[in-house]
Amino acid sequence: MTWKNWAGNQKANPIKVHRPQCESDIVAVVGYATALRQRVKVVGSGHSFTAIAVAPDHLVEMTRYNKVIGLDADRLEVTVESGIVISDLNEFLADAGFAMPNLGDVTYQTISGALSTSTHGTGSLRTGLAAQITAFRLVVASGDVLQCSADENPEVFHCGRVGLGALGILSSITLRIVPAFRLHAIEEPMRVDTLLTNLDKHVSENDFFEFYWIPHTGWALTKRNNVTDKPADPPARFRTWVNKMLLENIAFGALCYVGRLMPFLIPRLSKALPSSGRTEYVNASHRIFASKRLVRFYEMEYSIRRDAVVEALNRVRRMVDDCGFLLNFPVEVRFTAGDDIPLSTGSGRDNAYIAVHVFKGMKYEPYFREVEAIMSDYEGRPHWGKIHFKTAESLEPLYPEWKRYIEVRNRLDPEGVFTNDYLRRVLGR
């Protein structure tokens, strides 16, 4: 079997594929592989652009270990099997009157894949997803199953909330949830210079603020989402289809194809993007946070100190002009609050995120390397699931609790049962 990730830039040819249905199946896979001195890698939905999920020997797919185990309405917690896809979890929670406090911009990922790479959304007072974990069970290289929380195996819990898949296999996961809420969404283009002048105000005055600067134009598309008591008022189905499917996927995809064939047209094609106008509606939070993404691309995303975002983005804008890159994908900018997780991109500081994209099949490396060089001037930490060129040596100084994580990994997986080439590069073995 050849496995490929969503973007098609990573492949694996594992010796064997395993599809566990219960925790003891996971323990058996780990025991089988370690007896043969082979390596094991779980793959979620394959939505990482890096080789983080590439399985050198045994590939474990959690498609049969993907159910909700229980919901505790009093404690505001849900416990799930680690292979559950986030969109399924959202539907379950919505039916029960609950929601995740924040989400990324798609929900195709498994919860364990998203947590393992420090997946995040936006919201200056909201953390990434991993900070919602209150407990998990971890199958480690010895075959033991560790119950981890702030009280049990607290050191493994502390480090394993963003584990990069390197500490063991997450079995069940308990997450903090909130009562279901609705968002009032306003999406509209703004001049990017005006937006950047008032950026602090936008970020602090909106619960969830993000924007996309469109290269080769002076425009940005903004999204302002605020918690509201107003009743749901989603656009009619046809209008939703026109906005979310036709404009954001089909028409945008067509522009990308034309741009790939005739790159010199890209600056002119880009002018079509900001003309989408203003939309305003109210809907359940999970329906607003996430969208469908049918156009495939490669992505790099850096988290940097929040106070550096205007300077960093302006440098990216100048660099694109100076280098003459022709880019048909917007640059996305988001914000989150800091957390206390050693390898989280939000570890110990409030963050801004700058994400750059290139249409599938087009050359990304020269552009991404230039962006990475800029982000490195602002203590930039790469998203673990998105393309970057850093190694353990350059990553270690960026994370105050790096050594703490490495000590836990050395203890739990001394032989590297869960490692692969990507982890060797970013963790040093």
Ligand X SMILES: Cc1cc2nc3c(=O)[nH]c(=O)nc-3n(C[C@H](O)[C@H](O)[C@H](O)COP(=O)(O)OP(=O)(O)OC[C@H]3O[C@@H](n4cnc5c(N)ncnc54)[C@H](O)[C@@H]3O)c2cc1C
Binding marks (x or -) toward ligand X, 236..275, rule CB under 6 A? Answer: ----------------------------------------
Binding marks (x or -) toward ligand X, 119..158, rule CB under 6 A? Answer: xxx-------------------------------------
361-370 in b/e form (b: 16+ CB < 10 A) is ebebeebbeb
The residue among 15 and 265 lying less far from ligand X, judged by its C-beta, is: 15
Q: How far is the CB of 302 from ligand X (least distance, A)?
A: 12
How do 351-359 and 297-305 pair as beta strands? Answer: antiparallel
Q: How far is the CB of 63 from ligand X (least distance, A)?
A: 11
**165 is an interface residue for ligand X by CB under 6 A:** yes
Residue selected from 41, 58, 286, 388 as contacting ligand X according to rule CB under 6 A: 41
Report, in angstroms and rounded to the nearest whole number, the Rg of the chain calculated over CA atoms: 21
- The answer for residues whose C-beta is within 8 angstroms of residue 219's C-beta and 6 or more apart is 189, 190, 191, 192, 213, 273, 274
Q: How far is the CB of 406 from ligand X (least distance, A)?
A: 16
How many residues sit in the footprint of ligand X (CB under 6 A)?
33
- Locate 9 and state its tokens: 């830039």
**Which residues sit opposite 305 in a β-bridge?**
351
Q: How far is the CB of 121 from ligand X (least distance, A)?
A: 6
Reduce the secondary structure of 265-329 to three states and give it as a string: HHHHHHCCHHHHCCEEEEEEHHHHHCCCCCCCEEEEEEEEEHHHHHHHHHHHHHHHHHHCCCCCC
**164 is an interface residue for ligand X by CB under 6 A:** yes
**106 is an interface residue for ligand X by CB under 6 A:** yes
Binding marks (x or -) toward ligand X, 46..65, rule CB under 6 A? Answer: xxx---xx--------x---
Residues 336-395, interacting with ligand X (CB under 6 A): 383, 385
Are 287 and 91 in contact by the 8 Å Cβ rule? The answer is: no
**90 is an interface residue for ligand X by CB under 6 A:** no
What is the amino acid identity at position 147?
Q
Instruction: Note the residues at the interface with ligand X (CB under 6 A).
Output: 6, 41-48, 52-53, 62, 82, 104-106, 109-110, 112-114, 116-117, 119-121, 164-165, 169-170, 293, 383, 385
